[in-house]
Structures are given as C-alpha cells and as structure tokens.
A = this chain, B = another copy of it.
Amino acid sequence: MEKIIDISLPIDEKTVVYPGNPKVNIKTIYGKTSTYSEIKFGSHTATHIDVPKHVFKKGFGVDKIDLKKVIGECRVFDMTRVKESIKVEDLEKENIKKGERILVKTKNSLLGFKKFYDNYIYLDGDAAEFLAQKKISLFGIDYFSVKKRGGKDTRPHTELLKNGIVIFEGLDLSKAKAGKYFFIGLPLKFTNLDGSPARVILLKT
C-alpha cells in the first residue's frame, strides 16, 4: 500500500484552540470490564472543516458535505517562504485548475502547534477571490483559521464557502513535502453543524 502521512493534529487537553473557542476537556471512566470517556470540545478544534453554516446562518451543515470533494487528488504547495499571508501572486504561478484540492504549507507548519500566536500566515482576501474564481473544490491551511486574527476582511471564509469550496484548517503539513497526493479528509457526521473536527491523511504512491 501507499505511504500514509497523517496530517491531523492530536486532540487532548493540551490541544491549542483558537481564542474564544471551547477548550478540550476529557474525562475517562474506568469500569469493571470496559472504559469509556466523556469528551467536550468545540466544532473547530484541532484539524477541522469549516462549512457554509460557519459564516452564513442559513448555510448548509457539515453533514451535507459532498464527500467526493474531500476524497481525491490534491496538491501541496510549498509556501514556507511567504510572509504575512498567501497572496494572489503566490497562487498565480501554480497553474491552478478547476476542481483542484489545494493545500498550502507555510511556516506555520514549521513553527508547530503547541502555542497559539497571532501572526500566523493566513489567506489574503483577494487570494480567496482568486481561488473562488478558479473554482477549486477544497482549500486547506496549516493553522487554525484561514482568516487574519481580528481581521475585518471576511472574504477568506465567505468567498470560499459561498462558492462551494470546503475549507480545512489546522492541518499539520510539517511532514508533507510539496507535491501531489491522494487526499482523504473525513469530518464526523454532525447534523447541521457549522463544522467538525476531522481526520485527514495524505496517501503518497
């Protein structure tokens, strides 16, 4: 079989969450013959999917995602030299085609996910419009939001989501070199929810 690269972040009480989001809380109950756990977490914890309901109150929920979008070929772009944000000029040279699944590896993946910091690399609003015009099917980034922390330009979410592009956030691309992969990213099937933690892997032939 192909090599599997797990690009999901672990979920436990040490997991960093975006400011304002619920912290992870897990209580394990050891019974006589079996063990189970009570889990509390947010819909945007660790590696997760954003769906239209995240920013549009009448948008569809995570259970309505077209699973064909979250399974299939993808490209990882090396954007580790980018400063501040992914801009149109960074994307233009990549010859992006309709329907593509695009993941951007930035210096966020090199810095790691053990502490939250404000000046993470995000997706610029014009670049989000550019990707929407290209009609890609999926966009993934290696930090907890595609949008600048506290930024007023909401297009990184709205332009992608209103055009049917699935957003993955919190991808750990530290072990993925730039190139082509087979992408599998599955959220839980939460009814009509704004997002869901997801397990995401890349297969390399």
Contact = CB atoms under 8 A, between A and B. Distances in A.
A166 interface: no
Interface in A157-205: 157, 184, 186-195, 197-199, 201
Interface residues of A, number: 53
B54 A189 contact: no
Copies in the complex: 2
Contacts of A54: 34-36
B38 A38 contact: no
A43 B28 CA distance: 9
A39 B68 CA distance: 26
A38 B41 CA distance: 6
Contacts of A11: 188-191
A57 interface: yes
Contact of A184 (B10, B34, B186): B186
Interface string A24-62: 001010100111111111111011000001110100000
Nearest to A172: B189
A40 to B, nearest CB: 5
The 3 closest A-B pairs by CB, nearest first: A12-B191, A186-B199, A37-B43
